[in-house]
């Protein structure tokens, strides 16, 4: 269903301006309203895609959590392009909530960074298409190391999915980009799924506020969790005076 408002055709499938039937210049308020409607369309569309992946969650998510809980090493997150940027955030969130993790670029893996991986580690690979060449090229070397792979992908029949131990579906119906090209809804879906993994893991591990404080000693978060013990002085740190001090 389409609704035309202020010359903007808005629905989940289009984002175009309807032809202007008048010669009058648009008012500032009309332009502002149009911009707000465009922004709302992006946010509503991405929210709808999040609801969709939430409704499709199945036993594969549970399997991913179980693999992560059994991991005795670190979680290695990899991806390229926008997926790589999302991967950096996922790794950071995991690390700060009780699951040691780091991000590694897939191209760098093929040029020496495989030395960063140990046989106790686990890999989370991100690719919306599941056919990203840089990701495909590292799958066999990862398997030769004997590492488990969890993939977050929108293509359950992809090469990445077929080489993964667990596949978590983050597929979206369309991007928020009006050209349906720029990664927008898909990156939001992957980011949110990474958050879901991290938060479920921290809950299962019994991660507490004091644990959070240890990984966040700085900034406003660290200040909120600081205790008297953390700032008190004792022993030789205490100021001392002699009997002759006046």
Q: How far apart are CA 194 and CA 161, in angstroms?
A: 17
Show the tokens assigned to 211.
């644990």
What does residue 121 show for φ and ψ, rounded to 5 degrees? -80, 170
Q: What is the dihedral of CA 207, 209, 213, 216, to 10 degrees?
A: 70
CATH topology of domain 59-209: Rossmann fold (3.40.50)
40, exposed or middle or buried, with CB in 10 Å at 0-12, 13-18, 19+? exposed
Q: Given this model, what pLDDT does residue 14 score? A: 42
Q: Given this model, what pLDDT does residue 2 score? A: 39
Q: How far apart are CA 192 and CA 89, in angstroms?
A: 11
Q: How far apart are CA 111 and CA 32, in angstroms?
A: 50
Q: How far apart are CA 224 and CA 216, in angstroms?
A: 10
What is the residue extent of each domain of the chain? 3-54, 59-209
* 10-residue stretch averages of pLDDT, the chain, 246 residues long: 39 42 69 87 97 98 98 98 98 96 98 96 98 98 97 98 98 95 98 99 91 73 64 68 70
Q: What is the pTM for the complete model shown?
A: 0.79
Q: Given this model, what pLDDT does residue 1 score? A: 38
């Amino acid at each position: 269903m389409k609704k035309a408002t202020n010359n903007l055709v808005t629905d989940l499938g289009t984002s175009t301006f309807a032809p202007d039937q008048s010669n009058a210049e648009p008012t500032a308020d009309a332009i502002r309203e149009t911009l707000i409607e465009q922004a709302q369309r992006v946010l509503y569309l991405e929210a709808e895609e999040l609801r969709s992946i939430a409704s499709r969650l199945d036993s594969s998510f549970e399997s991913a959590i179980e693999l992560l809980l059994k991991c005795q090493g670190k979680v290695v997150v990899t991806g390229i392009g926008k997926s790589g940027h999302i991967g950096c955030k996922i790794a950071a969130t995991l690390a700060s909530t009780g699951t040691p993790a780091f991000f590694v670029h897939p191209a760098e893996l093929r040029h020496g960074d495989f030395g960063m991986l140990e046989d106790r580690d686990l890999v989370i690979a991100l690719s919306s298409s599941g056919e990203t060449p840089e990701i495909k090229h590292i799958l066999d070397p990862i398997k030769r190391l004997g590492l488990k792979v969890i993939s977050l992908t929108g293509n359950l029949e992809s090469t990445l999915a077929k080489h993964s131990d667990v596949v978590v579906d983050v597929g979206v119906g369309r991007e928020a980009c009006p050209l349906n090209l720029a990664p927008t809804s898909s990156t939001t879906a992957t980011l949110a799924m990474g958050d879901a993994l991290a938060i479920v893991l921290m809950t299962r591990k019994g991660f507490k506020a004091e644990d959070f404080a240890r990984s966040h000693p700085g900034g406003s978060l660290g200040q909120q969790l600081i205790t008297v013990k953390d700032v008190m002085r004792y022993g030789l740190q205490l100021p001392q005076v002699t009997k002759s001090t006046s």
